[in-house]
């Protein structure tokens, strides 16, 4: 969903569906900011749902509230930016055995007061899917911070229930020692140190986490939601604190109560081995291309997996152009692609995968300070005060520098009008923040002609339907402030 993010789903519609929503799109809201937030459901349980109630007014309701599954960088009390369109899915690759997406959030230097400059926060999500509805479908996430290595980070996750349902290395937090609906100093927060975190619910399932390194894991807040009919709901926010130079690389497993967790091992930078009841999965997630060779496994790319089942192997090249193989049987080419080979059919040799193309981020300067940036291939030009772009390739998002002659973009794909998003410049210091003036254009797969120009208001907004409210004051109403 280019303007909103990615929905990962396996066995949709069954009682054991596994689903995760990654919020990363140009359709940005004003309040409260939740870029790169995730929502998790699995094993018949709402493991980490959304915030719950629109008008909740308790702890953490300031700009940049703490009740999302995100990472804060630099300072915990730093106000978040909203209304920007440069938080989008930058890469993806989907297949029968593994799905992948990487979302990139640019953080301008004006957000920080430490003099370290601009940075990015990238959230990688790799979804390893079981072919059985009740099987071990799980996620591998990696949060990286190019340019922000010297800054502290706070990884945050919301669990549906109280703190006594949360265990670090098998030890639960004590319910009576965690204040409810109260913000406390970080030094006073209950904390445990470890690599294994288990968040249980009242629905017979939990979210089980394994981190590649130990962190101080704290309870930031306990929130109590009360509904008008007398029901209540408790949610607990947990944080893992990372110092300068650290990132977060972790496994997230929805599991039934009593179900054994997988065995996890870090093999190299960007490489994990995860053994479930179904397979031994060699999993790879990296910002830059990596090379790994061990146990008969070969991987040269950015993200993917070699899934070794009892009777077959699934070779998943989800991101990057490179080589992937098992026991000498190698496939090479630009991802994403997936090959499944029966164990009895493994034969040494190299096969080139046809039909793909290398994915590259390119920038095209079309004059007057206007740049078109995104995954190629595309051609762009300025025709008077109209921006024209011809695209080929897969679906993705393009970003265009917003010129002064376009106040409110109007956008067409092959002559059909679509929605473009553009930065809410007051939320970025009235346009003073770097990379503020941007237009985001969702592009469908295939060959298309894109046209962007300034919107001209008609006398009455044309509607393809008959309005139910016939009052003249409402007919054709448009916000003067935003033009929307």
Least confident window among 27-31, 225-229, 308-312, 420-424? 27-31
**83 or 103: whose pLDDT is higher?**
103
Please give the CATH number for the structural domain made up of 5-261: 2.70.98.70
Q: CA 452 to CA 441: how far, in whole Å?
A: 9
Q: Could you identify the residue written with the tokens 């996430």?
A: 141
**68 or 309: whose pLDDT is higher?**
309
Please tell me the predicted confidence (pLDDT) of residue 320: 96
How large is the average pLDDT for residues 63-69? 72
Query: For the segment 342-353, what is each residue's pLDDT rounded down to a tens digit?
Result: 999 999 999 999
The Cα-based distances of 481 to 32, 276, 459, 471, 474 in angstroms read 20, 55, 17, 22, 16
Contacts of residue 408, defined as CB under 8 A and 6 or more positions apart, other chains included, come to 422, 454, 455, 482, 483, 484
Please tell me the predicted confidence (pLDDT) of residue 475: 38
| CB of 361 closer than 8 Å to CB of 368 | no
At residue 477, does pLDDT exceed 70? Answer: no
Please tell me the predicted confidence (pLDDT) of residue 55: 59
How large is the average pLDDT for residues 91-102? 98
Number of C-alpha atoms within 13 angstroms, CB side, residue 332? 10
Tell me the CATH number of domain 361-454, given options 3.40.50, 2.60.40, 2.40.10, 3.90.1520.
2.60.40
Sign for the CA dihedral angle at 373, 436, 111, 65 comes to: negative
At residue 483, does pLDDT exceed 60? Answer: no
At 436, list the tokens. 């503020």
First to last CA, the chain: 21
Query: For the segment 340-385, what is each residue's pLDDT rounded down to a tens digit?
Result: 999 999 999 999 999 999 999 999 999 999 999 999 999 999 999 9
Least confident window among 21-35, 137-151, 340-354? 21-35
Domain ranges in the chain?
5-261, 272-358, 361-454
């Amino acid at each position: 969903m280019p303007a909103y993010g990615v929905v990962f789903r396996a066995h949709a519609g069954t009682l054991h569906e596994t689903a995760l929503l990654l919020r990363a799109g140009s359709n940005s809201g004003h309040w409260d900011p939740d870029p790169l937030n995730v929502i998790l459901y699995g094993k018949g349980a709402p493991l980490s749902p959304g915030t719950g109630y629109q008008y909740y007014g308790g702890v953490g309701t300031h700009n940049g509230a703490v009740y999302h599954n995100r990472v804060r960088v630099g300072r915990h009390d730093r106000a978040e930016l909203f209304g920007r369109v440069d938080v989008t899915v930058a890469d993806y690759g989907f297949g029968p055995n593994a799905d992948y997406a990487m979302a990139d959030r640019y953080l301008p230097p004006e957000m920080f007061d430490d003099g370290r400059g601009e940075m990015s926060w990238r959230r990688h999500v790799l979804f390893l899917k079981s072919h059985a509805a009740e099987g071990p479908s799980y996620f591998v996430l990696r949060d990286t911070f190019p340019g922000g290595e010297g800054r502290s980070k706070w990884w945050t996750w919301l669990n549906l229930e109280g703190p006594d349902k949360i265990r670090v290395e098998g030890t639960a937090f004590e319910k009576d020692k965690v204040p409810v609906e109260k913000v406390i100093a970080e030094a006073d927060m209950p904390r445990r140190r470890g690599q294994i975190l288990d968040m249980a619910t009242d629905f017979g399932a939990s979210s089980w986490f394994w981190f590649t390194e130990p962190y101080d894991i704290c309870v930031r807040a306990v929130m109590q939601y009360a509904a008008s009919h007398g029901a209540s709901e408790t949610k607990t926010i947990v944080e893992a604190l990372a110092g300068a130079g650290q990132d977060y690389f972790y496994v997230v497993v929805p599991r039934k109560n009593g179900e054994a967790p997988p065995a996890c091992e870090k093999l190299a930078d960007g490489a994990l081995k995860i053994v479930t009841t179904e397979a031994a999965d060699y999993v790879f997630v990296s910002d830059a291309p990596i090379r790994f060779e061990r146990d008969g496994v070969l991987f040269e790319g950015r993200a993917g997996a070699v899934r070794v089942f009892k009777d077959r192997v699934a070779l998943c090249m989800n991101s990057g152009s490179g080589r992937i193989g098992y026991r000498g049987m190698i496939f090479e080419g630009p991802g994403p692609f997936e090959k499944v080979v029966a164990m009895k059919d493994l034969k040494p040799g190299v096969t080139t995968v046809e039909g793909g193309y290398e994915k590259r981020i390119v920038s095209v300067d079309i004059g007057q300070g206007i740049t078109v940036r995104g995954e190629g291939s595309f051609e762009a030009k300025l025709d008077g005060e109209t921006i024209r772009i011809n695209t080929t390739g897969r679906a993705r998002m393009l970003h265009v520098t917003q010129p002064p002659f376009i106040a409110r973009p109007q956008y067409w794909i092959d002559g059909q009008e679509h929605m473009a998003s553009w930065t809410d410049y007051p939320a970025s210091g009235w346009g003073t923040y770097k990379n503020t003036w941007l237009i985001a254009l969702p592009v469908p797969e295939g060959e298309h002609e894109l046209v962007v120009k300034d919107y001209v208001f008609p006398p009455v907004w044309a509607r393809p339907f008959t309005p139910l409210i016939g009052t003249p004051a409402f007919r054709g109403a448009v916000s003067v402030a935003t033009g929307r």
